[in-house]
Structure 1
């Protein structure tokens, strides 16, 4: 199934990706509260978590760019790795990774590519060749 208006679908999926990344950043900010009473919150752990949350929020702002999805996908690995700090993040991070993969799958179905630019068939293209 292809989107009838690929530009609009691309913008909508970019907005969904940005929203997911912001929610991931907020979830990472809750980790220090969870590990402070039990395992202790050192300066290194706090710095890593704050930098990851900042990167997730900043990555949400570049979802309009072509590399935005690649950067967002790369940030899913450290998000899942926060499970090493507290066991609950294996579940939370895993749920976010599954949602991200589902978003990429929908993008592939609607736009024809997970990471490529949005292609629009030209009005004078009789052969259906796509232009960017």
Structure 2
């Protein structure tokens, strides 16, 4: 099944992908609070990694209109899931976000035909009006 208007569906799904990435970035910003309460504490390296990841997720949301935006967003799901190594609660939170991301890619594949490819642009058909003007 493909969408009747693939361009419109591509824009809608790009907006959904951007929203998911922003929410993921916000969720990552909550991780330092959870780590600070552990025995190991929050070191400079962990804090830097988490802040950079949050920044990358938020910046990646801004490029979801480009072809490589989904590829970058998909690649960022791996370090998001790896935050579970720092705080065990993130296995659940990041896992939920990864499942949502995979669902989004599946819906995009069903509506557009490809989870990562460009959105096919359909050209309007000629109704024959151009020949009548001659």
Same fold (TM over 0.5): yes
Runs of 4+ displaced beyond 6 Å: none
TM-score by length of 1: 0.92
Question: What TM-score, normalized to structure 2?
Answer: 0.90
Q: Do structure 1's residue 27 and structure 2's residue 27 form an aligned pair?
A: yes
Query: Number of residue pairs matched?
Result: 125
Q: Distance in 2 between matches of 1:26 and 1:120?
A: 34
Q: Per-residue displacement from partner, 1:17-45 (whole Å, max 9, x unpaired)?
A: 00000000000000000110113000000
* Alpha-carbon separation, structure 2, partners of 1:123 and 1:16: 27
Distance of 1:23 and 1:120 partners within structure 2: 30
1:11 aligned residue: 11
Name stretches of at least 5 consecutive residues in structure 1 with no aligned partner. Answer: 126-132
| Structural mapping, 1:1-132, within 5 Å | 1-38=1-38, 39-124=40-125
1:123 to partner: Cα distance: 3.5
Unaligned runs of 5+ in 2: 127-134
Distance across 1 between alignment mates of 2:15 and 2:122: 23
How well do the aligned residues superpose, as a CA RMSD in angstroms? Answer: 1.1
Question: Which whole-Å CA distance do the structure 1 matches of 2:103 and 2:37 have between them?
Answer: 35
